[in-house]
């Protein structure tokens, strides 16, 4: 696995947050776990599966800081697998996700740094296995300048440098320069409108496979914020201009709403019709709150250079109780790639999570996912499901024993692509809090 210097720069920024002047404010949480995992099909082979037992060790962390001049949310995990009898090479995978905001001049100038390191497939059409994984990193940094023309009229100018890098898929690697100008009008204490102009110049390292382009977005946004309800809506237009002269334009429409049904339950919905790409999605996916990751998952992103038009709807319901937490999130999406239609797809699926505090020292967690993915140009349809459960016993302060089991299954209309896998993981973990 290659070392990404810019990934290290974000870690260095997090370390700086803990140096004198901020040492007592930063909160650092971590968990170290070690265990044995049994995998019924370690290579995700459709026939003649290879069963393996291997040592699995990991360390996860989160760093948070929130003072007037600095806000930081950073989390990550590194995981090591030592395979039995050296049938496979030992692997080290890692994730890192975070955002740092430094207020240089209060209410006037701040600098934002973002980084998202994930594990993604080399070939998204092939099941996840030790040989089909790569580290993908997207880094962004730059200043934001604020203007206050009147008490109710504000302005904002942004400049960002974005670097994207994939461990294997070189066509994804790029450098971007993005800028935005925004005018914001406060209509009332609970509502505002804004006019936004964004421009982005994308230069790929591999000019033979990937095509450089400029992207422009012009849209208006309306936001309404009430005690138990929040609504946001965008309406505008987007244009992609390739350096060779070709261009493509599409309407930009987005809407999101969040409704607090009660102090413990929440409902949200998001609709979108817009241009996007894998690097942009990576930065958008950075969470606003840092949590300690429990594992390193392989994502499902198509790692390539092509932007795409995406239309989708996401629903979500979450209940947070004293002993029981649950969430349900169905979704549907249609994605059309601009440069190549090989990965054009229609997707629908759902995820369910439940956490139950059986008693003070015992927690039961379950989850289930289902997805149907239709590759419209390839004439292929994949249906996948994943069901898992874990039982965590806190047998001493800061020490936890955990038993985790998972079943994965994929049925495909493509010959030789049906796979299934069972995983059992028994581990012991230590947390500093």
pLDDT digits (tens, 9 = 90+) for 253-285: 999 999 999 999 999 999 999 999 999 999 999
Name the token pair of 274.
Answer: 């817009």
pLDDT digits (tens, 9 = 90+) for 29-82: 999 999 999 999 988 888 888 899 999 999 999 999 999 899 999 999 999 999
Distance CA 39, CA 298 (A): 16
SS3 (DSSP) at 6: helix
| Residue 253 CA from chain centroid, whole number | 22
Q: What is the pLDDT of residue 161?
A: 98
What average pLDDT does range 219-225 have in this prediction? 97
CB 370 within 8 A of CB 349: yes
Query: Residue 196 belongs to a domain with what CATH number?
Result: 2.40.170
Which segment of 171-180, 204-213, 302-311, 318-327 scores lowest on mean pLDDT?
204-213
SS3 (DSSP) at 304: coil
Name the token pair of 108.
Answer: 């006037």
CB 171 within 8 A of CB 305: yes
What average pLDDT does range 102-118 have in this prediction? 95
Mean of all residue pLDDT scores within the chain: 91
Q: Closest by alpha carbon to 302, among 263, 325, 336?
A: 336
Distance CA 363, CA 345 (A): 38
Q: Which helix (H) or strand (E) element contains residue 177?
A: strand 174-188
Domain enclosing residue 138, as ranges: 5-431
Total number of residues shown for the chain? 433
Name the token pair of 183.
Answer: 């005018």
Distance CA 78, CA 61 (A): 9
Number of structural domains in the chain:
1
Give the pLDDT band (50/70/90) at residue 167.
very high
Q: Is the pLDDT of residue 125 over 50?
A: yes
Give the pLDDT band (50/70/90) at residue 88.
confident
Q: What is the pLDDT of residue 416?
A: 83
Instruction: Read off φ and ψ for residue 116, nearest 5 degrees.
Output: -140, 110
Q: What is the pLDDT of residue 179?
A: 97
Q: Which residues 6+ apart lie within 8 Å of 243 measured at CB?
A: 211, 212, 213, 214
- Judged by phi (left if over 0) then psi (alpha if -120 to 50, else beta), residue 86 lies in left
Q: What is the pLDDT of residue 14?
A: 47
pLDDT digits (tens, 9 = 90+) for 3-39: 444 444 444 444 444 444 444 468 999 999 999 999 9
């Amino acid at each position: 696995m290659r070392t990404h210097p810019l990934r290290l720069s974000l870690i260095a920024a997090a370390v700086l947050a803990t140096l004198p002047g901020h040492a007592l404010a930063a909160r650092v949480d971590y968990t170290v776990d070690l265990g044995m995992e049994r995998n019924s099909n370690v290579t995700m082979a459709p026939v003649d599966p290879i069963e393996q037992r291997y040592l699995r060790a990991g360390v996860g962390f989160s760093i948070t800081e929130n003072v007037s001049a600095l806000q930081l949310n950073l989390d990550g995990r590194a995981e090591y697998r030592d395979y039995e009898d050296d049938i496979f090479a030992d692997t080290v995978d890692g994730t890192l996700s975070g955002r740092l905001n430094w207020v240089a001049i209060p209410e006037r100038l701040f600098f934002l740094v973002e980084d998202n390191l994930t594990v993604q497939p080399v070939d998204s059409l092939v099941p996840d296995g030790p040989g089909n994984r790569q580290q993908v990193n997207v880094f962004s940094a730059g200043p934001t300048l604020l203007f206050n023309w009147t008490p109710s009229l504000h302005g904002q100018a942004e400049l960002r440098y974005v670097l994207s890098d994939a461990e294997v898929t070189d066509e994804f690697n790029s450098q971007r320069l993005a800028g935005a100008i925004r005018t914001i009008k406060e209509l009332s204490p609970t509502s505002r409108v804004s006019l936004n102009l964004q421009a982005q110049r994308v230069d790929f390292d591999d000019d033979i496979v990937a095509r450089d382009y400029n992207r422009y977005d012009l849209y208006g946004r309306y936001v309404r914020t009430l005690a138990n309800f929040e609504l946001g809506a965008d309406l505008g237009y987007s244009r992609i201009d390739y350096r060779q002269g070709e261009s493509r334009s599409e309407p930009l429409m987005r809407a999101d709403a969040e409704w607090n049904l009660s102090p413990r339950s929440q409902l949200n919905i998001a609709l979108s019709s817009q241009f996007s790409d894998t690097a942009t999605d990576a930065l958008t996916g950075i969470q606003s709150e840092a949590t300690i990751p429990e594992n390193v998952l392989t994502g499902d992103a198509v790692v390539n250079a092509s932007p795409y038009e995406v239309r989708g709807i996401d629903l979500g319901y979450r209940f947070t109780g004293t002993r029981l937490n649950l969430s349900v999130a169905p979704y549907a999406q249609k994605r059309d790639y601009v440069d190549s239609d090989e990965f054009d797809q229609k997707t629908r699926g759902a995820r369910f999570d439940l956490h139950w505090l059986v008693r003070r020292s015992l927690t039961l967690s379950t989850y289930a996912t289902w997805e149907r993915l239709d590759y419209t140009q390839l004439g292929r349809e994949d249906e996948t499901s994943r069901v898992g459960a874990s039982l965590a016993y806190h047998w001493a302060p800061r020490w936890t024993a955990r038993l985790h089991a998972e079943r994965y299954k994929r049925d495909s209309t493509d010959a030789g692509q049906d796979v299934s896998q069972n995983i059992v993981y028994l581990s012991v973990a230590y947390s500093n809090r």
